[in-house]
Structure 1
Amino acid sequence: MAAGRPEILVLQRDDHRGQAVVAFGVDDVAYLRSEAGTQALHEVAALRLSDATLVADIESARRHFGERAAVLVETTVLRRRAAAKLSHPDDWLFTDEALQQATAEPVAVHRARRLAGMRVHDATCSVGSELAALRDSAALAVGSDVDPVRLAMARHNVADVTLCRADALLPVSRGTVVLLDPARRRGGRRRFDPRDYTPPLDELLQVYGGRDHVVKCAPGIDFDAVSRLGFIGEIAVTSLAGSVREACLWSPGLATSGVTRRATMLDTGEEITDADPDSTVVAPAGRWLVDPDGAVVRAGLVRHYAARHGLWQLDPDIAYLSGDRLPDGVRGFEVLDELGYSERRLRQALSARDVKAVEILVRGVDIDPDALRARLRLRGSQHASVVIARIGSGAASRATAYICRPSR
């Protein structure tokens, strides 16, 4: 073993829990990596493969490439879809489920920066999306996966990274931080119980409990359930393009001192933790309403966010905040009118303002925004936003509607 490199052992284990059925075999991957396959992919990439042309395009591919047409078309379609996650996916290989689970490049790069200078073993590397970011930041990056097809694809996608086939529940490296991304889908369906992940989260935490580890989880994971599984450390929730992408578990040795929850908003570069001040007040609406980023809400850091930006809460149990100025780069809603909510009163108020199109946001009330919008039957010429929230508690609570002008 070369000096400075982690010790890698190759182990395999039958997985009686079952693996997702994939359209590719190892021989398909070998063909796609070959000169003939590369040329064929170049030709298929010229096809539109739109809803209108799909049948004809597939038939054309079959005439030219016979039984290989299916994997060629599938790879081309997946590469086009991958553009939403990767900046340069044109020469990558994927399975459908691997692409669904692949980390968006900005999220992977953010995590890799936090692991900069460390020796990292991605023990569920799949097709290599995390490794592509790690190899540029980590002191050393290695990968393994139990799925031979995904591993063969990773050998193509990140050809300069050391890879081996191994089961994540049987550790095969020493002296590394272990990165884990257990599968949260089976047959295209999401699994919400972390014990139903593949591998199960409780088993992963038990196996790697004595080592520095990072575990990528579903954004909606139950934090209390994670604690009951024995996890202690930091839970970091990350958002990108206005959407919460993941909750990531950082073991105590990698967590920031005094931090157990973190919200990272990659769109603005802002981070909030539970070590930040959280002193804020509850008060009526001011000039602006702010709906905090989903990562802030999911991480339970609404008060911390409010304290940082000089905002206050409309209600202690509702995430909407208010203030006299907007935080930089944040979309807000300028309050034009406030009324006790009823459909009739809201319709009258919007009609009086000559509103035609309305964006409706709700919190703490059982209202379907799309259904309400249709029932309002507005015929004006202006645009507006309506924020509906339940203010107060118990018998004193009431649904309140705020008619607003969005900042953008």
Structure 2
Amino acid sequence: MSYTLQEVDFLRSHRPEIADATAELALTRSSLIADTEVLRRHFGEHARAVTELVAARRSTTGKLPSDWLMCGESAQQATPPVVAAVRARRIAKNLGAGARVHDVTCSIGTELRPLADAGLTVTGSDLDPVRARMARVNTGSAVAVADALAPPLRPGAVDAVVADPARRAGGRRITRPDQLLPPLPDLIAAHAGTPVAVKCAPGLDFSGWDGPVSVVSVDGGVKEACLYSPALGEGEHREAVLISTSPGEHPHIDRITDLSGDGDGESLAGPPGRYIIDPDGAVVRAGLVRHYALREGLWMLDDRIAHLTGDLIPEGRTGFPFIEQVPLKKLKAALRKHGCGSLEILVRGVDIDPDRLRRNLKPAGERPMAVVVTRIGSAGVALVCGPRTDGVDRT
């Protein structure tokens, strides 16, 4: 649920009271009725808005500033700050400090602060007046109420535009750029002549885009694909950005692009090495598995399948110690022979449901293991492995 403008103003002007009144409340499903009664005594007709705000803040603990105004939906849709910071640095690097950037779908402002922190001059706008007001409160930036297809600023007033079209319609993910809301062609036309950075779902078909496409993951989870105008790139067409976070430490960022060679079409396939490695989803989505393999001294089990193998696991990544390769029909016997208990299953290139496979295998031993079901040549095979590891010897 969102708020009315009056509720936003109330939440903004009663921050200390809200913090004090909700500090000891659990606001869980089982306690919600009792907690709501407490909030009604404190805040009367604004109790619903306070409940929504506190629940949204708690759902984003460590991701968004704890004092920001947000509702549950806007918090869920918000770009992770570490991802927004990567984009902001790219824009600043290509346009220079002080460049003027306008976020035309700014929502509650999660993109505005990283852009400003990167030394850029920022403005925002959003079609929803409630979110626009929250963005102004959260960031202190100039934010207008406007449609992304009807820019509030005159042509040439900004050096770049950031946009985040809706990625779902009717509860289903949108996979075509011309079906985004607003459609990508309309968005480009509305800002003709201005470089754009358009955030999209990672499953979008971006094969027709002529600028850089950056697919970003955080701690192994793919978060977004971003389409950049050529002016916001460095000659690359595809990029995977792997962000690793640890509490209290600066994020580690690994960038793989298609600027390096991919083996000129030569086969990179070979027999399993010491480890089986499943590349980060951003590498797979960006189509950079071969580039990543060559950079890390790995090879492929099959040139058409994204599983990799090698004798070392890339730093900061994980893999599975390879034990043996067996036909699928002999997998159950092989796992029983090794005393398999807990089992991690990875499937790629073979039409098998991992949950059904687990039920059929019925592992009952004590040894943690993994199995990689994949296709090599024309045959589906199972690679029996030890449990996931980073390959670092700590003895």
AA of the residue aligned to 1:33: R
Query: Matches of 2:73 and 2:177 in 1, distance apart?
Result: 18
Partner of 1:13: none
Give 2:197's match in structure 1, choosing from 196, 214, 227.
214
Aligned residue runs from structure 1 range 119-268, under 5 A: 119-159=100-140, 161-173=141-153, 174-185=157-168, 190-224=173-207, 227=208, 231-257=209-235, 259-267=236-244, 268=252
Residues 283 and 314 of structure 1 are in contact (CA less than 8 Å); yes or no, is this contact kept in structure 2?
yes
CA 1:187–1:49 in 2, change beyond 3 Å: closer, same or farther? farther
1:362 is the counterpart of 2:347? yes
How far 1:84 sits from its partner (Å)? 5.4
AA of the residue aligned to 1:177: A
Query: Matches of 2:181 and 2:198 in 1, distance apart?
Result: 12
How far 1:302 sits from its partner (Å)? 0.6
Which secondary structure does the structure 2 equivalent of 1:266 belong to? strand
How far 1:101 sits from its partner (Å)? 1.8
- Tell me the number of residue pairs that the alignment of Structure 1 and Structure 2 aligns: 371
Query: Matches of 1:192 and 1:233 in 2, distance apart?
Result: 18
Partner of 1:347: 332
Residues 275 and 321 of structure 2 are in contact (CA less than 8 Å); yes or no, is this contact kept in structure 1?
yes
Residues 124 and 180 of structure 1 are in contact (CA less than 8 Å); yes or no, is this contact kept in structure 2?
yes
1:375 is the counterpart of 2:360? yes
TM-score (norm 1): 0.87
How far 1:193 sits from its partner (Å)? 3.6
How far 1:187 sits from its partner (Å)? 7.3
How far 1:390 sits from its partner (Å)? 1.2
AA of the residue aligned to 1:131: L
Which secondary structure does the structure 1 equivalent of 2:161 belong to? strand
Query: Matches of 1:28 and 1:60 in 2, distance apart?
Result: 18
Partner of 1:276: 260
Superimposed CA distance per residue, residues 374-408 of structure 1 (whole angstroms, 9 cap, x where no aligned partner): 2222221110010010111xxxx111111112225
How far 1:235 sits from its partner (Å)? 0.5
Residues 45 and 76 of structure 1 are in contact (CA less than 8 Å); yes or no, is this contact kept in structure 2?
no
1:310 is the counterpart of 2:297? yes
How far 1:42 sits from its partner (Å)? 3.3
Query: Matches of 1:60 and 1:212 in 2, distance apart?
Result: 50
Residues 312 and 323 of structure 1 are in contact (CA less than 8 Å); yes or no, is this contact kept in structure 2?
yes
How far 1:331 sits from its partner (Å)? 0.2
Query: Matches of 1:164 and 1:45 in 2, distance apart?
Result: 33
How far 1:355 sits from its partner (Å)? 1.2
How far 1:59 sits from its partner (Å)? 2.5
AA of the residue aligned to 1:352: K
Give 1:50's match in structure 2, choosing from 6, 16, 28.
28
Query: Matches of 2:204 and 2:389 in 1, distance apart?
Result: 32
1:40 is the counterpart of 2:23? no
Residues 124 and 145 of structure 1 are in contact (CA less than 8 Å); yes or no, is this contact kept in structure 2?
yes
Partner of 2:247: none
How far 1:64 sits from its partner (Å)? 3.0
Superimposed CA distance per residue, residues 251-304 of structure 1 (whole angstroms, 9 cap, x where no aligned partner): 0111112x1111110125211111111116111211111111100000001111
Which secondary structure does the structure 2 equivalent of 1:300 belong to? coil
How far 1:112 sits from its partner (Å)? 1.2
Query: Matches of 2:237 and 2:176 in 1, distance apart?
Result: 21
Superimposed CA distance per residue, residues 170-199 of structure 1 (whole angstroms, 9 cap, x where no aligned partner): 223313211111122457654344333332
Give 1:299's match in structure 2, choosing from 275, 286, 307.
286
Residues 95 and 150 of structure 1 are in contact (CA less than 8 Å); yes or no, is this contact kept in structure 2?
no
Deviates more, 1:52-61 or 1:315-324: 52-61
Query: Matches of 2:174 and 2:242 in 1, distance apart?
Result: 25
Residues 24 and 149 of structure 1 are in contact (CA less than 8 Å); yes or no, is this contact kept in structure 2?
yes
Extract unaligned runs of 5+ from structure 1: 1-21
How far 1:41 sits from its partner (Å)? 4.5
Residues 167 and 201 of structure 2 are in contact (CA less than 8 Å); yes or no, is this contact kept in structure 1?
yes
Partner of 2:80: 104
Superimposed CA distance per residue, residues 217-253 of structure 1 (whole angstroms, 9 cap, x where no aligned partner): 11111123xx1xxx42111101101111010011011
How far 1:65 sits from its partner (Å)? 2.3
Partner of 1:27: 6
Superimposed CA distance per residue, residues 38-94 of structure 1 (whole angstroms, 9 cap, x where no aligned partner): 4135312431011221222122222332221111001000001122532x3x21111
Query: Matches of 2:30 and 2:56 in 1, distance apart?
Result: 18
Query: Matches of 1:221 and 1:307 in 2, distance apart?
Result: 26
AA of the residue aligned to 1:138: G
TM-score (norm 2): 0.89
Residues 36 and 47 of structure 2 are in contact (CA less than 8 Å); yes or no, is this contact kept in structure 1?
yes
Which secondary structure does the structure 1 equivalent of 2:225 belong to? strand
CA RMSD across the alignment: 1.7
Partner of 1:113: 89
Superimposed CA distance per residue, residues 293-338 of structure 1 (whole angstroms, 9 cap, x where no aligned partner): 1000000011111111111111111000111222111101111111
Residues 90 and 232 of structure 2 are in contact (CA less than 8 Å); yes or no, is this contact kept in structure 1?
no
AA of the residue aligned to 1:260: H
AA of the residue aligned to 1:286: G
Partner of 1:77: 55
Query: Matches of 2:389 and 2:9 in 1, distance apart?
Result: 52
